[in-house]
Amino acid sequence: MVAGRVVRFDSQRGYGFIAPDDGGEDVFLHVNDMLIPESAVHRGVVVEFEIEEGERGPKASAVRLARGEDGKPLAPDDDSLCDVLNTQEFTAEVTELLLAAAPSLTGEQILEVRGALAKFGRGHGWVEG
């Protein structure tokens, strides 16, 4: 078993990558190779897995949450990690927030603000796509 942290996981596409704790190349992660619910996998989660050689490089299999001595899943220790949303998820959440916070905004204004925020988020790596 190898330990590592999920560096990216796209639940819509069903794949992502894990950075092994011992360094080296990131390992491909596919939803079909997980022994845990897909909802438990996001950036920064500590996992244990086997490494197989896939068609395009290393591939994770038998992926499960890494657990401490107390049996509880290990938490990310890097406070800078956060969930990265895709553009569709981000704009949907921003739209709902704008509608709740400023219901007098027009549709055109919401689209302009939402577009500017998405561009800003992509520039900082907070939004994918």
- DSSP assignment of 75-115, as one string? PP--TT--PPEEHHHHHHHHHHHHHHH-TT--HHHHHHHHH
Check whether residue 20 and residue 55 sit in a common domain: yes
Check whether residue 54 and residue 96 sit in a common domain: no
Check whether residue 60 and residue 91 sit in a common domain: no
Tell me if 70 is assigned to some domain: no
Number of domains into which the chain is organized:
2
Count each helix (H run) and each strand (E run) in the chain, helices first. 2, 7
**What pLDDT band is residue 44 in, cutting at 50, 70 and 90?**
confident
Is the pLDDT reported for residue 80 higher than 50? no
Q: pLDDT at position 124, please?
A: 67
Q: How far apart are CA 36 and CA 67, in angstroms?
A: 13
Q: pLDDT at position 77, please?
A: 52
Check whether residue 53 and residue 101 sit in a common domain: no
How high does pLDDT run on average in the chain?
Answer: 86
Check whether residue 54 and residue 8 sit in a common domain: yes
Mean local confidence (pLDDT), 88-103: 91
Tell me if 74 is assigned to some domain: no
Is the pLDDT reported for residue 16 higher than 90? yes
The pTM for the full model equals: 0.57
Check whether residue 9 and residue 54 sit in a common domain: yes
Question: Considering 13, 31, 65, which residue would you say is the last residue of a domain?
Answer: 65
The residue segments making up the domain with residue 119 are 85-128
Check whether residue 61 and residue 89 sit in a common domain: no
